[in-house]
Amino acid sequence: MRLLNDTLEKIKGPDYSLAQEAQSKLDSLTKPQGSLGRLEEIAKQVVIITGNLRPQLKNKAIFTMAADHGVVAEGVSAYPQEVTPQMVYNFVKGGAAINVVARHVGSRVVVIDMGVGVDLEKHPELTIKKIGYGTKNMAQGPAMTKEEAIASIEAGIEIFEAEYNKGIDIIGIGDMGIGNSTPSAAIASVFTGRPVEDIAGRGTGVDDAGLARKIAVIKKAIQINTPLANDGLDVLSKVGGFEIGGLTGVILAAATRKIPVVIDGFISTAATLIAFTLKSEVKEYMIAAHCSQEKGHGLMLAHMGLRPLLDLDMRLGEGTGAALGMGIIEASIKILTEMATFQSAGVSERNKEQNFKS
């Protein structure tokens, strides 16, 4: 647990000393003040996160983590578990939605096996950090041991550090794991205090009977395991997943390096909730890419005070929403750093006296 504790100790809130200077620069650009709305807010947030008035977001990485879940034995998913390794192979071959969107925004995709239920074939684009062959069935007892929970977070820290050494300016996080919206809903219900019915959605597309079964399973898991809402490790170990733990580690590690973290959908936000509970300062380094179609996602974001950039009715995961968000964030930075000022362009500024008489 030393790596986790050391990482938590290193996380400090960002330095706001450049906030006013960034705002003054935005106000001096050739546009009415505030007319680019959230793009201006995002640009200022990235300046604050990075401590750089002219940040560049050339080196982008999406961390897509995969794992299986024992709770699928309860019939909570519309897809069989063998889809998890099949999709991992699709990722490393470049054929999935995340590969397409990542290519579009110029990001590399880092694919990690955190706990897929089978041994995957070696591939140069695949990192193996397997904590176990899927979690245990959380409806029958804890999903993992506390030691496994710690190991999953520390694996995420190690993965981020390895990629950071290759060059990273901004990251996104994504997931793959059949059944993983079930533990994510359990995590969200525990942390937000909202009823499971307000949180759990259809995931990969379960029907009405499947949704009712899923809600009942989540309630049972919470009742049996009694996860503690003030203890992120306890919640992760009792109702979490190995990929959720890994993403938690990536978030924590990125915060120590002052790297913006773009959050994807429902499962990524479950990891964000755990990271936020372990160290609340990490919130300042997060940008929520979108609000997914999954029922409770908006409640999860609101619990942390995060406002999503997009609402496109997406519910895929993989990091697709995060990749799209990166494009918007990079546009905001280019506005800050490439747009002319009134002075440099020779454009007249707004009249300071508005009380004209006819």
pTM score, whole prediction: 0.96
Q: What is the pLDDT along the chain (358 residues), one digit of tens a residue?
A: 999 999 999 999 999 999 999 999 999 999 999 999 999 999 999 999 999 999 999 999 999 999 999 999 999 999 999 999 999 999 999 999 999 999 999 999 999 999 999 999 999 999 999 999 999 999 999 999 999 999 999 999 999 999 999 999 999 999 999 999 999 999 999 999 999 999 999 988 899 998 999 999 999 999 999 999 999 999 999 999 999 999 999 999 999 999 999 999 999 999 999 999 999 999 999 999 999 999 899 999 999 999 999 999 999 999 999 999 999 999 999 999 999 999 998 888 877 655 544 4
How far is the CA of 336 from the CAs of 25, 46, 103, 139, 348, in angstroms?
A: 7, 11, 24, 50, 19
- The C-alpha angle with vertex 111 and arms to 107 and 117, in degrees rounded to 5, equals 160
- Return the CATH number of 2-54+337-345, one of 1.10.1610.10, 2.120.10.30, 1.10.760.10, 1.10.3720.10: 1.10.1610.10
Phi/psi at 244 (nearest 5 deg)? -65, -40
Instruction: Report how far apart the first and last C-alpha atoms of the chain are (Å, whole number).
Output: 73
- Find out whether 173 and 247 touch, Cβ atoms under 8 Å: yes
- Find out whether 4 and 154 touch, Cβ atoms under 8 Å: yes
Check if 2-54+337-345 and 60-331 are the same fold. Answer: no
Tracing tokens 């929970």 back to the chain, one arrives at: 149
Active-site choice (158, 318, 330, 353): 318
Q: Supply the DSSP string of 253-286, one letter for each residue.
A: HHHHTT--EEE-SHHHHHHHHHHHHH-GGGGGGE
Domain boundary assignment for the chain: 2-54+337-345, 60-331
- Find out whether 326 and 345 touch, Cβ atoms under 8 Å: no
For residue 210, give the nearest of 200, 198, 225 by alpha carbon. 200
**Burial of 4 per CB tally in 10 Å (0-12, 13-18, 19+):** buried
Q: Is 121 noted as a catalytic residue in this protein?
A: no
Has domain 60-331 been given CATH number 3.40.50.10210?
Answer: yes
